[in-house]
């Protein structure tokens, strides 16, 4: 393996607080309490350390990052440190004054999430009456300010048939990039998987619609789309590979190779309260244990894709196969690949009732 370089990006989960209650949220079931969140001063130090070790991008996320009153200060500090700044937001708190604060702070990019293309359905999935209207207002403010906009549509069994309307909405909002994001089955989404996992027929339909839209809109709008793991033959390089490209900081300060890593047993994830980012990245067990290929079992170890997919997702291997060191069940070569087929079958006639995301502090 080549010499370890700096991370490409820092994902800053400022808070688990959020006005929405999306049942597909990948936040952990036991979320960090507001009182456990890093202070402004601690986040400022983390941002300085990120710039010092060569990180290029910082993504402010959550929960809802705009629930933090110090967001303007944090973005301004990151921008002054030379970091490219992106905020991943629901948009429901992006008022006119909040937009002015983002602009004054020097925000570079906004990624705006949508639950659906239709107001009634979107409000139902978000658990927030009037949320869709607020998102549309937020999108217009973003574009009026001249900022690049990514419209992120999370799709699942109960909204996937409106995929054409979602793409049309993204185009109408002048988004430069549209992400058609299949639900990631961690946290609340895994809890609700049977009610969210699309059927094969639904997947084939959306594959065709997206491919046609990508061709039709080529040169005008970028459409990002990846087939969900449950229907894949090969695993994806989760987060670009374990400890290869990103550091994720939880609201309470734990440094994680990915946002779901806290589910893994037998790990002590270092806190930025006690350790510097450089040391965490280079030498902590949490980042080195599954980095590279030496840890891989068969058939990963002898696979010609091992430095492309990096063994897939460790959290998914744990959640589905019971062992984070096993081959990701998304791979057709995995002895556990049948688990994916069984999950698809279990969802066919499952009830559509959803458990909403709520702040249950652990």
Annotated binding residues for [4Fe-4S] cluster, written as ranges, equal: 18, 22, 25
* Binding site as annotated, residues: 18, 22, 25
Q: Map tokens 């062992």 to a residue.
A: 323
Task: Give the neighbor-by-neighbor strand order of the sheet with 84-89.
Answer: 222-225, 177-182, 149-155, 109-114, 84-89, 57-61, 9-13, 246-249, 255-256
Q: How far apart are CA 65 and CA 27, in angstroms?
A: 13
Q: What would the DSSP string read from start to end of 194-220?
A: HHHPPPHHHHHHHHHHHHHHHHHTTTT
Residues in the chain: 362
C-alpha separations of 97 from 93, 104, 106 in Å: 10, 10, 14
Contact predicate 183/196, CB 8 Å: yes
Dihedral of the CA atoms 22, 238, 245, 260 (nearest 10)?
A: 40
Contact predicate 75/110, CB 8 Å: no
């Amino acid at each position: 393996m080549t010499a370890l370089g700096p991370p490409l990006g820092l994902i800053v989960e400022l808070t688990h607080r959020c006005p929405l209650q999306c049942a597909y949220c990948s936040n952990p079931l036991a979320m960090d309490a507001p009182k456990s969140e890093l202070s402004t001063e601690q986040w400022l130090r983390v941002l300085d350390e990120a710039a010092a070790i060569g990180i290029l991008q910082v993504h402010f996320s959550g929960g809802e990052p705009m629930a933090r009153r110090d967001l303007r200060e944090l973005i301004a500090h990151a921008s002054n440190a030379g970091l490219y700044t992106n905020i991943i937001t629901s948009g429901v708190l992006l008022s006119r004054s909040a937009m002015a604060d983002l602009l004054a702070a020097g925000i570079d990019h906004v990624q705006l999430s949508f639950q659906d293309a239709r107001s009634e359905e979107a409000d139902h999935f978000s658990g927030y009456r009037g949320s869709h209207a607020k998102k549309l207002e937020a999108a217009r403010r973003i574009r009026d300010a001249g900022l690049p906009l990514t419209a992120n549509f999370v799709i699942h069994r109960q909204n996937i048939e409106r995929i054409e309307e979602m793409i049309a909405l993204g185009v109408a909002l002048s988004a430069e990039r549209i992400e058609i994001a299949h639900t990631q089955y961690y946290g609340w989404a895994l809890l609700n998987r049977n009610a969210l996992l699309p059927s094969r027929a639904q997947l084939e339909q959306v594959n065709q619609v997206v491919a046609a839209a990508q061709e039709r809109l080529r040169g005008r709008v970028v459409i990002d789309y990846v087939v969900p793991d449950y229907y894949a033959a090969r695993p994806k390089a989760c987060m670009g590979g374990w400890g290869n490209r990103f550091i994720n900081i939880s609201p309470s300060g734990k440094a994680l190779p990915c946002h779901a890593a806290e589910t893994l047993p037998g790990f002590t994830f270092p806190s930025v309260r006690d350790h510097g980012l450089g040391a965490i990245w280079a030498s902590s067990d949490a980042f080195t244990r599954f980095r590279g290929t030496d840890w891989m079992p068969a058939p990963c170890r002898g696979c010609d894709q091992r430095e492309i997919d990096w063994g897939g997702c460790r959290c998914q291997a744990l959640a589905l196969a019971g062992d984070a060191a096993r081959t990701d069940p998304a791979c057709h070569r995995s002895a556990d690949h049948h688990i994916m087929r069984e999950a698809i079958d279990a969802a066919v006639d499952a009830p559509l009732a959803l458990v909403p995301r709520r702040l249950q502090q652990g």
